[in-house]
Amino acid sequence: MDTMTVVEANNGFDTRFPAKEDLSLPYRQLFPLITKAANTPFHAMLPHRIKQNIVGLKHVLSRYLGERFQVLYAMKTNRSAALVKAAAEEGIGIDVSSLEEFQLALTQGVCGRDCSLSGPFKSVEFLTLALRQNARIVVDSDEELLQIQNLAVSIGKTARVLLRWNAEQPHTRFGMNTVKLKAASLVADSLSNIELEGAGFHLSGYCPLERGKALSDLLDAADALRYGADIRWKVINIGGGYPLRYVEEATWRRFQNAIDRQDFVAGRMPKSFYPYWHPDTLETAVEKVLIESGNAERLKANNIELSVEPGRALTDGAGFTAFEVLGTKTTNAGDHCVVVKGLSFSFSETWFNSEFIVDPVHLPASQETTKSTNPVRAYIAGQSCLEEDVLTYRKVPFSQMPKAGDLLVFNNTAGYLMDLLETRFHGLPIPNKVVLDNKEDSFSIEEVRG
């Protein structure tokens, strides 16, 4: 690429929805080298940003709880080794949901005791490594509890367990209701090779008051067990599900007011959208959880450690994704379509009947293409033979039609967008992860996993 000049849409042409921050801006001089070394598409990882987010969260927790807290990064959000290593360097743990995630965490310097296993009915290999590494195991059911006990006995280890409460959500397949939770606590307390540490939950949605109420209810359960059976929980885990801001508030309000079915190919407008702006941040949401019902004081009074497992919110600002344009066409319906190298499986939002509303940044391959403007609106598709291989059904406004060799950069994609659905469909390679780490003159390429 000769240059990396941004092509902006004309003020009078449609409504733009830019990212809150263009994360690619400091690194564009490296793009010609990156595209040669890593090919396209590529995911750029910014591990210094996850460190900043960890520091901010720790500050809030320490203000309310002193040292009685633990932060874990939910690795399912993004399995970049650089992000895991950054988390380890900041002294936090990792929430792992598979043997492979656990092994990666250990190789990046995370202490096994600082890891927590989640998910229903973990494999024997996964549990065995957890027992040998003294990791915490989140138990999904009383049946799994007995399975873990038997395995622990067979290899002569003691399992540190946390029972998963379903927060009385009627349609979830995970966890136990309050009655079963209390019963499982009694059973766990009686088992020879089980060390019951406490309980935890995970809620969908981003309402801090709901999460605060759930924490208060779980503290009530802890009180009942302490007074009724002398069982003392040491830990309560309130899971993940914390908000972040992809765009400014004005942009989000403008999107809500302006967007219409006609802005999407074949009217494929999602029924709902992820909250790309939220009145709370990770820090203010956690603060509200702690304030609700006197939760912070109750935790301290009962000497219970609070464990939190942010995923997406910890990766806020920690990466962006660049796709190379292969060409453009006009469909039979008269829509403009930009076809990029790679697959929408590496940019997964549309596969969940949703849409990433943040406009990509258009970086032309040459300076000449920026001299004239001919505004168009186009949706963006991958290169596969699947009709559904679409990165955005929304007709994105461009001041000129992208051309072959141009780059489209999507900002803030580290949270769930990069590798949740990655596949080698058609034999295409999985995109490389390029680690920039606050260095504007160098980069490294991660080993491809999966």
How much is the pTM? 0.94
| Residue 198 within any structural domain of the chain | yes
| Residue 36 within any structural domain of the chain | yes
Query: What's the angle, vertex CA 131, arms to CA 130 and CA 134, rounded to 5?
Result: 80
Same domain, 424 and 328: yes
Same domain, 297 and 398: no
DSSP state for residue 188 in the 8-state scheme: H
pLDDT value of position 158: 99
Same domain, 325 and 365: yes
Q: Please count the other Cβ atoms lying within 10 Å of the Cβ belonging to residue 110.
A: 27
Catalytic site residue 385? yes
pLDDT digits (tens, 9 = 90+) for 105-142: 999 999 999 999 999 999 999 999 999 999 999 999 99
Same domain, 209 and 326: no
Regions of the chain with pLDDT less than 50:
1-13
Q: What does the alpha-carbon distance between residue 6 and residue 389 come to, in Å, rounded to a whole number?
A: 26
**Residue from 111, 115, 337, 385 carrying the catalytic annotation:** 385
pLDDT value of position 366: 84
User: Cα Rg for the chain, rounded, in angstroms?
Assistant: 24
Same domain, 282 and 345: no
Same domain, 394 and 428: yes
Same domain, 52 and 33: no
Q: What does the alpha-carbon distance between residue 43 and residue 322 come to, in Å, rounded to a whole number?
A: 7
Same domain, 170 and 302: yes
Same domain, 112 and 29: no
Q: Please count the other Cβ atoms lying within 10 Å of the Cβ belonging to residue 257.
A: 9
| Residue 301 within any structural domain of the chain | yes
Identify the domain containing residue 357 by its residue range: 25-46+317-445
- Are 449 and 83 contacting, i.e. CB atoms less than 8 angstroms apart? no
| Residue 149 within any structural domain of the chain | yes
pLDDT value of position 306: 99
DSSP letters for 217-251: HHHHHHHHHHHHH-----EEE--------SS-HHH
| Residue 267 within any structural domain of the chain | no
Same domain, 160 and 222: yes
What CATH number is attached to the domain comprising 106? 3.20.20.10
pLDDT digits (tens, 9 = 90+) for 368-378: 655 567 899 99
Residue written as token pair 């040459």:
366
Q: How many domains does the chain have?
A: 2
29 CB-contact burial (10 Å; exposed 0-12 / middle 13-18 / buried 19+): exposed
